[in-house]
Structure formats: structure tokens, C-alpha cells
Amino acid sequence: MFNIDFTGEFVAFFVFSVLIISGAVLMVSFTKVVHMVVSLAAVFIGVAGMFILLDAEFLAFVQVLIYAGAVSILMIFGIMMTKHQDSGAERPRTLNDTLSAIGALALFGILFYAIRQSDFPEPQTVPDGTVDNTMAIGQQLFTGYVVPFELVSVLLTVAFIGAIVLAKKEAD
């Protein structure tokens, strides 16, 4: 079950896991919201590293650009434009918090049990690492996934125009 050989992939996986878990735990334990966003950026970068380990280089770059770049900055703007001085440090632990912790732990227990119980069959075909990941994704995107791709572009346009309209100050 835990027979792990210390390959380079395992060492890199361990490093990125420590980065991700420490960032996420710090995120839920910090009291200042700007610190939370910075630790979240560490989590996003760790996930990008895991994507590189999984032979998804293009997705790793997309992750760094969209999440660690755009979403983090967007959230910092959201924090700066709203009131963020009151930290929740003095707020006592409520029953709601305890129940949430129990629920999250129970969900993790179920997931962990399911992952450990199920035996995953070995991959039938070994993917050759010689194929250019970005080129393969581009070919897929413009052959098999043309309709979803165009729909996503429409969705992004509508969403961003909608965001501007929503956040615009109404003319008095």
C-alpha cells in the first residue's frame, strides 16, 4: 500500500504537496485577508507544478497565468474595493465552525477510504513523452472541440461585459 520508491517524481510530488497543503492550511488560519490571498497564490503555483509532473505543461502555464496571475490580482482588487480592516480574530468559534470541520473531515475520510479501497488498473497504453503537449492540445481544440471552444469564447465575452455592467457605478 505504501511501497513508495524514491524516484525523482516522488520527491517533486512531495515538495509540491507540502507547498499546496501548507498554503491551504495557512489560508484557512490567517486572519488578514490579504495574507490569505498570497498563500492561495502559493497553492495555485503548487498545483501548476503538479500539472508539470503530470505531463501537462500547457495547462501548467495556463494555471500560472490565469490563477496565480489573474484570479489572485482580481481577488486583491475585490478586497481593496471593499472593507477589509475588520479581521475575524475576535470572533469566537461557533457551533457552525465545528460542524463544518466535522463535515469536511468526514468527507475526506469517505474519499480517502474510497481511494484506498479501489484498485486502479494499469494504463493500457504508455503515452509517449515525445509528443508536443501544446501542439496536441491545439490540434484537439480546433478539430474535436471546436464548438465548445467557440461557446467558451462567447461565455467569456458575456461574463466580462456582464461583470463590467454589474460593477459600474450607476449614474446618479
Partner 1 sequence: MLSSYLTMAAILFCIGLYGALTKRNAVIVLLSIELMLNAVNLNLVAFSKYGVVPSLTGQMFTLFSIAVAAAEAAVGIAVLIALYRARGTVNVDDYDEMRR
Give least dist CB 171 to partner 1, A: 13
The count of chain residues that interact with partner 1, using the rule CB under 8 A, is 79
Q: How far is the CB of 96 from partner 1 (least distance, A)?
A: 7
How far apart are the C-alpha atoms of 47 and 51, rounded to whole Å? 6
Distances (CA, A) of 85 to 88, 89, 100: 10, 11, 25
Binding pattern for the stretch 14-53 against partner 1, x by CB under 8 A and - elsewhere? ---x--xx--xx-xx----x--xx--x--xx--x--xx--
Q: Which is nearer to partner 1, 56 or 171 (CB)?
A: 56
Cell numbers placing 125:
497504453
Residue 44 neighbours by CB under 8 Å, 6+ apart:
63, 64, 67, 68, 71, 72
- Cβ closer to partner 1: 120 or 130? 120
85/92 Cα distance (integer angstroms):
18
Residue 171 class from Cβ within 10 Å (0-12 exposed, 13-18 middle, 19+ buried)? exposed
What CA–CA distance (Å, rounded) separates 75 from 69?
10
Q: What is the nearest approach in angstroms of partner 1 to the Cβ of residue 130?
A: 14
Site for partner 1 contains 121 (CB under 8 A): yes
Q: Does 64 bind partner 1 (CB under 8 A)?
A: no
Cβ neighbors of 114 (< 8 A, separation 6 or more) are: none
Distance between CA atoms of residues 111 and 117, nearest Å: 10
Least separation, in Å, of the C-beta of 30 and partner 1? 9
The owner of cell 486583491 is 76
Residue selected from 132, 141, 146, 150 as contacting partner 1 according to rule CB under 8 A: 141
Q: Binding partner 1 by CB under 8 A: which of 77, 132, 142, 146?
A: 77
Our finding on whether 124 is near partner 1 (CB under 8 A) is yes
List 6, 92, 95, 96, residue binding partner 1 (CB under 8 A): 96
Q: Does 69 bind partner 1 (CB under 8 A)?
A: no
